Amino acid sequence: MPPPNDAAPADAATDHADRRESGGGRSGDAVVRARGVDHVFDGGRGVHDMELDIPQGSIFGLVGPSGSGKTTMVRLILGLLVPQDGSLEVFGVAPDDFSKDERERIGFLPQESALDPGLSLQHNLQFMASAYGMPWRGRWMPGKRAARARDRIDELLELLDLSDERGTRLGDASTGEQRRLGIAAAMVHDPDLLVLDEPTAGIDPLLREQLWGHFDDLREKGRTLLVTTQYVTEADECDLVGLVIDGEILRVAPPDELRHEAFGGDLVEVAGQDRLPVGDLVDVEGVVGIQRRTARGGLLLLVEDAEATTERLRTALGSQDDDTVTVSTHRPSFDDVFVRLVRAHREGDLDSPQRSSLARHRKDATDA
């Protein structure tokens, strides 16, 4: 992956850096703060009671299925929609009162390619740079600002592996190239808050990994990223995840916390013995129940705390003396986490998912 951007891209971006230093820039301060925000369209769909705080210098993921309301939330945050109720602030200002200064601090990648398919990749970037006050002039025209803008564009094309395609018409570029160009366009002025609506849609896994790596770099440099995704597994890449279902944010928590909540505890996998003493394992302190049998004949146990219980299980099974027995923490995929939380929500049981999970596990244990 190319090195992260350290050079100031242009004056506009330099101004942002100054603002980051002077105010609203302390790590952990909420860049976006929403309280009870409603925006309901005709037909009842929309966003209900949106509550969230997006700390500065974090990657906040809005995760949810297609049509769940993620894009509406993004549009509210960007000022493209006005809340019908509740309060919403970005950089301490209501989005519909954004001044030029606030707008210069935001970068936006919409879900669809919003750039001109008739222009080359480079021309598209030059246009977007000019939209943020960076001059678009040819190399034969004098001007330091224009030269810095050209350097910034070269840098972004390089970063997103688009240098060789800079002259390609956007309409002739692949879906992945178009998406990467959109990200470059959103980043061209080095914004403080980067709002990316489905940035990895249609991008192959290798490039997706690269992009997340770059998002990490941006976070390290103090930028705040709001990312929506329907790839639930990408939630693991975020510092905070907002789980969006039917226009509501069900939970806002770090990924591991959500995982714990979804299953009502942590998961530990026990494997190695032909026939595991199920009754003994359930009686170990901290074990809540048996989640299921694994494909290799082992057991997946639901425990209150994986770290503490693993040792007790090893003792109970005597695995310290038996190399054939393994006890390890199991990290379920975020798909499973997501499915469980959504199911619990739809069954009206999300407020205490642990209870429903426990009940199910005890039944599983009895069956086993």
Partner 1 sequence: MRDLLIRPAAFVRRELVATLRQPWLLLSLVLGPFLVLFVFGLGYSRDFPTLTTVVVGDEDSELVSRVNDFVAEAEVTGIDYVGTEPDREVALQRLRDDEVDLVVVLPPEDEVGTGERAIIEVHKRSTDPVTGAQVEVAAETAMHEINDQVVAEVLGTVQDQTATLAEDVASARDVIAQVQDAVGADDVDGLLATAETLSVRLDTLADQVGQASRIAALLGIPSSEVEESLRSASEQLASLSRTTPLEDLDELDAMLTEADDAVAALRDADPEVLVRPFDVEVVSDTPVEVTLDRFYAPGLLALMLQHVAVTFAALGLVRERRRGTADVLRVAPITTGQRLVGTTIAHLVLGAAVAAALTALIVTVFGVPVPVDWLQFVGLALLTLLASVGYGYVIASVARTDSQAVQLSMLMLLIAIFFSGLFLPLARINFPVRWVSWAMPTTHAFTGFRELMLLGESVSNFIWAGLSGLAIVLLAAARVLIPWRDSHP
Closest CB to partner 1 among residues 78, 249: 78
Closest CB to partner 1 among residues 75, 361: 75
- Greatest extent of the chain over all pairs of C-alpha atoms, in Å: 80
- Residue 89: strand pairing partners: 33
Q: Which of 19, 169, 343, 362 binds partner 1 (CB under 8 A)?
A: 169
Q: Which of 61, 64, 79, 286 binds partner 1 (CB under 8 A)?
A: 79
**What part of residues 172-201 is at the interface with partner 1 (CB under 8 A)?**
185
32 binds partner 1 (CB under 8 A): no
> Following DSSP, what letter does each residue of 77-104 receive, concatenated?
HHTSS--SEEEEEETTB-GGG--HHHHH
Closest CB to partner 1 among residues 23, 118: 118
Q: How far apart are CA 92 and CA 85, in angstroms?
A: 17
Closest CB to partner 1 among residues 102, 248: 102
Q: Which of 106, 184, 341, 342 binds partner 1 (CB under 8 A)?
A: 106
Pairing of strands 224-229, 59-63: parallel
CA 296 to chain centre: 33
**Torsion, CA 92, CA 87, CA 33, CA 185, rounded to 10:** -70
Q: Which of 116, 209, 239, 304 binds partner 1 (CB under 8 A)?
A: 116
Closest CB to partner 1 among residues 111, 328: 111
135 binds partner 1 (CB under 8 A): yes
121 binds partner 1 (CB under 8 A): no
Q: How far apart are CA 73 and CA 173, in angstroms?
A: 30
Q: How far apart are CA 293 and CA 291, in angstroms?
A: 7
19 binds partner 1 (CB under 8 A): no
**Contacts of 102 by beta carbon, 8 Å cutoff, 6+ apart:** 90, 91, 93
Closest CB to partner 1 among residues 1, 131: 131
Q: Which residues bind partner 1 (CB under 8 A)?
A: 75, 78-80, 100-101, 103-104, 106, 108, 110-120, 123, 126-128, 130-136, 169, 185
